[in-house]
Amino acid sequence: MVSLTADMSPLHPDRNLALELVRATEAAAIRAVPFVGRGDKEAADGAAVDAMRAFFTTVDFDGTIVIGEGEKDNAPMLYNGEKVGSGRGPQCDVAVDPIDGTTLTAAGRQNALSVIAVSDAGSMLDASTVFYMDKLVTGPEGVGVVDIRLPIGENIRLLSKALGKPVEEMVVSVLNRPRHEQLIQEIREAGAGTRLMSDGDVAGGINAARHNARTDMCVGIGGSPEGIVTACAIKALGGHIQGRLRPRDDVERQKGADAGLKFDDYVYEADDLVRGKNTIFVATGVTDGQLVGGVRREGDFLYTESVVLRGASGTLRWISSEHLTSKWL
User: Is 322 among the annotated ligand-binding positions?
Assistant: no
Asked whether residue 25 is marked as a ligand-binding residue, the answer is no
Residue 288 marked as a ligand binder: no
Would you say 137 and 213 are in contact if contact means Cβ atoms under 8 Å apart?
no
Q: What three-state secondary structure class fits 193?
A: strand
- Residue 100 counted as an annotated binding residue: yes
Q: Is 299 annotated as a binding residue?
A: no
Around Cβ 231, how many Cβ atoms within 10 Å? 31
226 marked as part of a ligand binding site:
yes
Cβ neighbour number for residue 275 with a 10 Å cutoff: 17
Asked whether residue 69 is marked as a ligand-binding residue, the answer is yes
Is 14 labeled as ligand-binding? no
Beta strand spans in the chain (E) = 62-67, 83-84, 91-100, 113-120, 132-138, 171-175, 193-197, 217-223, 240-245, 268-269, 279-285, 296-298, 301-310, 315-324
CB crowding 57-87: b at 16 or more within 10 Å, else e: eebebbbbbbbbbeeeeeeebbebebebbee
What interhelical angle do 41-56 and 15-32 show, nearest 10?
150
Q: Is 23 annotated as a binding residue?
A: no
247 assigned binding-site residue? no
97 is in an annotated binding site: yes
**Which residues define the annotated binding site?**
45, 69, 97, 100-102, 132, 177-179, 199-201, 223, 226
**Which residues define the annotated binding site for Mn(2+)?**
45, 69, 97, 100, 226
**Which residues define the annotated binding site for substrate?**
100-102, 132, 177-179, 199-201, 223
